[in-house]
Amino acid sequence: MFDPKDIRNSKDPDLAGSYAAIHRAAKSAEDLAIKTNTAIIVSVDGKPVRITAAELIKKRELESAKPTPNIPTV
């Protein structure tokens, strides 16, 4: 069963650092998929989901349009 504890708060520095490493690896996979115009497969609720390069580009465009939290807009 899934333990709801956040691994970023682990006393083990390797485990705590693995959260950021997983996110870097995911971004790298997305970068490669966009560069090669291929899809990636991710798990959502335990089911495989195919995300195309076009969908990844759209997702990044939407994310970059969001205002950065705690930074006042002019």
Beta bridge partners of 41: 50
Q: Which two tokens stand for residue 48?
A: 């495989």
- The domain segmentation of the chain, as residue ranges, is 8-65
For the whole model, what pTM was predicted?
0.72
Kindly give the confidence (pLDDT) of every residue in the chain, 74 residues in length, as a single tens digit, with 9 standing for 90 and above: 455 678 888 899 999 899 999 999 999 999 999 999 999 999 999 999 999 999 999 999 998 887 766 666 55
Return d(Cα 74, Cα 51) in angstroms, integer: 35
Question: Which residue is it, tokens 């195309």?
Answer: 52
Strands (E) in 1-74, as ranges, are: 40-44, 47-51
